[in-house]
Amino acid sequence: MNIKQLFSFSVLCGLGWSLLSLAFFHTNGFVTTPLGLLFTFLFILGHIFLFAWLVFILSVPFSLIGPRSTQIAAGAWGGFVSLFFVIDLIVFSQYRFHISPAMLELFFGPAGREIFAFSTQMWVIAIVGALLVFLLTFCLTLATKRLCLRGKFIALILVAWLLTFLGYNSVYAWGKFNMVSAIISQRSVLPLANPFSANRRLRKLGFEPKKELYSEPTHGTLNYPLHPLTCTAPFHKQNVLVILIESWRADSVTAQIMPNLTRQMQQPHMTYFTNHLSGGNATEAGVFSLFYSMPYAYWNDFTGRQLPPVLVTQAWDTGYTPAIYASGKLNSPTFHQNIFATVPNLRLDSKGSTKWERDVDSIQDFEKFLNSHNLQQPFFGFLFLDAPHGSSHPEEDTIFTPEQEVNYLLVNKNTDPTPYLNQYKNSVHFADRMIGRVFDDLKAHGLLENTFIIITGDHGQEINDTRNNFWGHNSNFAKYQTHVPLFIWDPAVKQASTVSYRTNHYDVAPTVLERVYGCTNIPHDYSIGQNLFSDTARPFSLISGYTKKAIRTDDQLTVLDQYGGIEMYDENLAPSKMGANPTAIKEALQTFAQFYN
């Protein structure tokens, strides 16, 4: 393969990837206005061909070795990029985000095998598919050996692409300056897109960009809490136990799926909050919002400073003993650097080859703690059950059939979710057994009447509920991924009850600080929530993902991405013309600066 043939190969790859990129827009939805379609055309050719030129540049040095080396290099680099597009398209079609350094860090990190649990069948299909991609790419190198573009056609192609590239960036810069939704909302559709923005340059020229509809306040120095806590703990301190169930769907609280928990619902001390929302649609955001009672946007600042939430620091300051027994790894995500940063000898992970085995190990270690602990000393406990995340369960919990493990390479929006939902239900049935075991342990040690227990989920789990090919979480903010159960076991409450008004994760910390620690600060000093048992209307619910955030009022959502794009839909993911209340949106965005000077 000579240089001209290599160039021809790169052009054919670019055209092929451009055609493939239409699938990204098909998944996300085409902007059908003339201006939107113009930008789509320029965006695809201008951006995607950058990958083609990258393959060309990376392969050129091999021409110094010989034509055969050039062909092998072109096939290898082209195969890698083609495989990247295929994998990214699969990820985007199910989660609406692209492969990112953060995602790769999780995949190859210490908890990768736990977070991304793939079946043998899925691995076989993936390996065969990857080999097929490389085979097709090398076949293309053979075909282009017979194709040799003349110099004037090469120059014409380069000039045409350069004009397209400049046009796509110019249109985007203009659209960003004028906040044209049909343009800026498309930036996140293609992977690794980073078009030019001219706002700063135009400001220097005396122009002023159009104000964003919803702009975030400028951040400063972290100031948390706003005022020192003033707390008078009762003479008999209550234990605090947080039981978190990974990927817990709100509709799974039934007598058949969770017999132990539904029996506990009848006990005098239990309150069931039926209309509860997580602060995120993924683990980091969901757990962060639960413990800190503030948006996920603060994650980096608290992690960088290794500053725990007052929910746990107040416990340590008043003599509570840590009892942290999570099934999943606490260093991936890095909860050991924020929530539990000051816990000495923190237990980072559990033993076992499956999620349910690691759940059992964490419960067993908690039981060992209770057996050896001075019962007169209060403890702050955290149990994180991971089995529902991968629909993992032992054979004895196979209650619902038929069941089947999700193969993300084969499912689509028309796939019947029943067998996958059955396997999920069986995993929740197992988690329920673990909850029943914990209650029995506390009762056996005489601690149940002196322990404040929070039982909830970090986020929900969608199983193609909206028939949009969403399987899992962190892909949208509809109720299936954000609505989670919440139970509060409070020995001070003498009658079982069910609460139906809207609550969210931000309300948990204020409740514990007021009812257990005896703190008199207003919640605003350390949170954006309020006491769970207060029926004062919450003006908004703020829900965060890794790349987007949503503000919800009633059943209407407004979703904001980092590029200025705005989406509006209801809790069932149906497109909406209303969105969240604009006043509530403004108030929600102000919380991003609440704890900065």
291-332 pLDDT, tens digit each: 999 999 899 889 888 999 999 999 999 999 999 999 989 988
> Residue 42 contacts by C-beta under 8 Å, 6 or more apart in sequence?
164, 167, 168, 171
Q: What is the mean pLDDT of residues 251-255?
A: 97
Query: pTM for the complete prediction?
Result: 0.78
Arithmetic mean of pLDDT over the chain: 90
- Asked if residue 271 and residue 199 are part of one domain, the reply reads no
Do 25 and 102 share a structural domain?
A: yes
Least confident of 98-107, 145-154, 377-386, 539-548: 98-107
Distance CA 15, CA 493 (A): 66
**462 lies in which domain range?**
239-529
Distance CA 384, CA 587 (A): 32
More confident residue, 229 or 216: 229
DSSP β-ladder status, 276-277 and 503-504: parallel
Domain of 311, CATH number, reads: 3.40.720.10
Q: Which are the contacts of 527, defined by CB distance < 8 A and separation ≥ 6?
A: 292, 293, 294, 506, 509, 510
Query: Is residue 192 domain-shared with residue 271, that is, in the same domain?
Result: no
Co-location of 183 and 280 in the same domain: no
Q: What's the longest Cα–Cα distance across the chain?
A: 89
CA distances from 534 to 452, 500, 508, 543 (A): 18, 12, 12, 21
Residue 448 resides in a domain? yes
Predicted confidence at residue 567, as pLDDT, reads 86
Average pLDDT (151-172) is: 92
* Mean pLDDT (whole number) for 226-246: 91
Q: For residue 569, what pLDDT is reported?
A: 94
Long-range contacts of 335-339 (CB under 8 A, 24+ apart): 335/287, 337/303, 337/306, 338/288, 338/299, 338/302, 338/303, 338/306, 338/307, 338/308, 339/287, 339/288, 339/291, 339/292, 339/308, 339/309, 339/312
pLDDT on residue 79: 95
Query: Per-residue pLDDT for 509 more than 60?
Result: yes
Mean pLDDT of 88-98: 79
pLDDT per residue over 334-363, tens digit each? 899 999 999 999 999 999 999 999 999 999
The verdict on residue 274 lying in a domain is: yes
How far is it, in rounded angstroms, from Cα 335 to Cα 331?
Answer: 6
Residue 213 confidence class, pLDDT cut points 50, 70, 90: low
Judged by average pLDDT, the poorest of 107-116, 222-231, 553-562 is 107-116
Confidence band for 178, pLDDT divided at 50, 70 and 90: confident
Would you state the structure tokens that stand for residue 88, as one six-digit string?
Answer: 């990214």
In a domain, 220, yes or no: no
- The residue from 484, 514, 529 where one domain ends is 529
- pLDDT score recorded for residue 216: 63
Q: In Å, how far are 272, 275, 430 from 261, measured between CA atoms?
A: 10, 17, 12
Number of domains forming the structure of the chain: 2
Q: Tens of pLDDT along 98-152? A: 876 655 665 666 655 665 667 788 888 889 999 999 999 999 999 887 777 777 8
Mean pLDDT calculated for residue range 535-542: 95
Q: How confident is the model at residue 443 (pLDDT cuts 50, 70, 90)?
A: very high
In this prediction, residue 99 carries a pLDDT of: 78
Amino acid 85: pLDDT: 93
Confidence (pLDDT) at 189: 87
Which position has the token pair 């076949």? 139
Nearest to 8 by CA among 129, 154, 136: 154
Note whether 134 and 276 are same-domain residues.
no
